[in-house]
Amino acid sequence: MSEMQIQNVLQQMRQLSQTSGVQNTQPAQPAREPQRAGGVDFQNVLTESLRGVNQVQQEATALQTRFELGDENVSLPQVMTAMNKSSIAFEATNQVRNRLLNAYQEIMRMQV
Protein backbone atom coordinates (compact mmCIF):
# COMPACT_ATOMS: atom_id res chain seq x y z
CA MET A 1 0.00 0.00 0.00
CA SER A 2 1.50 3.33 -0.99
CA GLU A 3 1.80 6.30 1.34
CA MET A 4 -1.08 7.98 -0.53
CA GLN A 5 -3.35 4.98 0.08
CA ILE A 6 -2.43 4.90 3.77
CA GLN A 7 -3.24 8.61 4.03
CA ASN A 8 -6.61 7.95 2.36
CA VAL A 9 -7.39 5.16 4.85
CA LEU A 10 -6.43 7.38 7.79
CA GLN A 11 -8.59 10.20 6.40
CA GLN A 12 -11.54 7.83 6.03
CA MET A 13 -11.04 6.61 9.58
CA ARG A 14 -11.08 10.22 10.83
CA GLN A 15 -14.26 10.95 8.87
CA LEU A 16 -15.87 7.79 10.19
CA SER A 17 -15.09 8.73 13.77
CA GLN A 18 -16.46 12.25 13.22
CA THR A 19 -19.71 11.00 11.67
CA SER A 20 -20.32 8.39 14.35
CA GLY A 21 -22.19 10.95 16.45
CA VAL A 22 -20.41 10.02 19.68
CA GLN A 23 -18.51 12.81 21.34
CA ASN A 24 -15.15 12.23 22.95
CA THR A 25 -15.54 12.22 26.73
CA GLN A 26 -11.83 12.08 27.48
CA PRO A 27 -10.09 15.22 28.71
CA ALA A 28 -8.27 17.22 26.09
CA GLN A 29 -4.56 16.62 25.90
CA PRO A 30 -2.13 19.36 24.98
CA ALA A 31 -1.09 19.25 21.36
CA ARG A 32 2.46 18.15 20.70
CA GLU A 33 4.77 19.96 18.38
CA PRO A 34 5.33 18.23 15.02
CA GLN A 35 8.72 16.56 14.89
CA ARG A 36 9.58 18.12 11.55
CA ALA A 37 8.62 21.43 10.01
CA GLY A 38 5.41 21.28 8.01
CA GLY A 39 4.81 17.65 8.94
CA VAL A 40 2.22 15.78 10.94
CA ASP A 41 3.07 13.93 14.14
CA PHE A 42 2.47 10.32 13.06
CA GLN A 43 2.03 9.06 16.60
CA ASN A 44 -0.81 11.50 17.29
CA VAL A 45 -2.54 10.69 14.01
CA LEU A 46 -2.32 6.97 14.65
CA THR A 47 -3.46 7.30 18.27
CA GLU A 48 -6.46 9.43 17.33
CA SER A 49 -7.39 7.02 14.54
CA LEU A 50 -7.29 4.08 16.94
CA ARG A 51 -9.41 5.99 19.44
CA GLY A 52 -11.91 6.71 16.68
CA VAL A 53 -12.12 3.05 15.70
CA ASN A 54 -12.58 2.08 19.35
CA GLN A 55 -15.33 4.65 19.70
CA VAL A 56 -17.17 3.31 16.65
CA GLN A 57 -16.91 -0.23 18.01
CA GLN A 58 -18.22 0.78 21.41
CA GLU A 59 -21.14 2.64 19.84
CA ALA A 60 -22.04 -0.40 17.72
CA THR A 61 -21.89 -2.68 20.75
CA ALA A 62 -24.07 -0.30 22.76
CA LEU A 63 -26.66 -0.13 19.96
CA GLN A 64 -26.65 -3.91 19.67
CA THR A 65 -27.18 -4.31 23.42
CA ARG A 66 -30.00 -1.77 23.44
CA PHE A 67 -31.69 -3.57 20.52
CA GLU A 68 -31.34 -6.94 22.23
CA LEU A 69 -32.88 -5.54 25.41
CA GLY A 70 -35.91 -4.34 23.43
CA ASP A 71 -35.29 -0.59 23.23
CA GLU A 72 -37.99 0.72 20.87
CA ASN A 73 -35.79 3.66 19.80
CA VAL A 74 -33.22 1.36 18.17
CA SER A 75 -34.06 -0.38 14.92
CA LEU A 76 -32.38 -3.35 13.28
CA PRO A 77 -31.12 -1.26 10.31
CA GLN A 78 -29.41 1.13 12.76
CA VAL A 79 -27.70 -1.78 14.49
CA MET A 80 -26.62 -3.38 11.22
CA THR A 81 -25.26 -0.09 9.88
CA ALA A 82 -23.31 0.55 13.08
CA MET A 83 -21.91 -2.99 13.08
CA ASN A 84 -20.84 -2.68 9.43
CA LYS A 85 -19.13 0.68 10.12
CA SER A 86 -17.34 -0.94 13.03
CA SER A 87 -16.24 -3.88 10.90
CA ILE A 88 -14.95 -1.65 8.09
CA ALA A 89 -13.07 0.58 10.52
CA PHE A 90 -11.44 -2.42 12.17
CA GLU A 91 -10.47 -3.96 8.84
CA ALA A 92 -8.94 -0.67 7.68
CA THR A 93 -6.99 -0.44 10.93
CA ASN A 94 -5.79 -4.00 10.49
CA GLN A 95 -4.60 -3.25 6.94
CA VAL A 96 -2.70 -0.17 8.11
CA ARG A 97 -1.08 -2.24 10.87
CA ASN A 98 -0.06 -4.91 8.38
CA ARG A 99 1.50 -2.34 6.06
CA LEU A 100 3.37 -0.65 8.89
CA LEU A 101 4.68 -4.01 10.08
CA ASN A 102 5.84 -4.89 6.56
CA ALA A 103 7.58 -1.52 6.23
CA TYR A 104 9.30 -1.97 9.59
CA GLN A 105 10.48 -5.46 8.66
CA GLU A 106 11.79 -4.19 5.32
CA ILE A 107 13.72 -1.41 7.06
CA MET A 108 15.19 -3.89 9.52
CA ARG A 109 16.43 -6.07 6.63
CA MET A 110 18.33 -3.17 5.07
CA GLN A 111 22.09 -3.31 5.35
CA VAL A 112 23.78 -0.23 6.70
- Integer Rg of the chain from CA: 17
Residues 64 and 83: beta-carbon distance below 8 Å: yes
Tell me the residue length of the chain: 112
pTM: 0.60
Write down the domain spans for the chain. 43-112
70 vs 10, more confident: 70
Q: Which 3 state secondary structure label does DSSP give 62?
A: helix
Q: What is the average per-residue pLDDT within 33-37?
A: 51
* Confidence class for position 28, pLDDT limits 50, 70, 90: very low
Termini Cα distance of the chain: 25
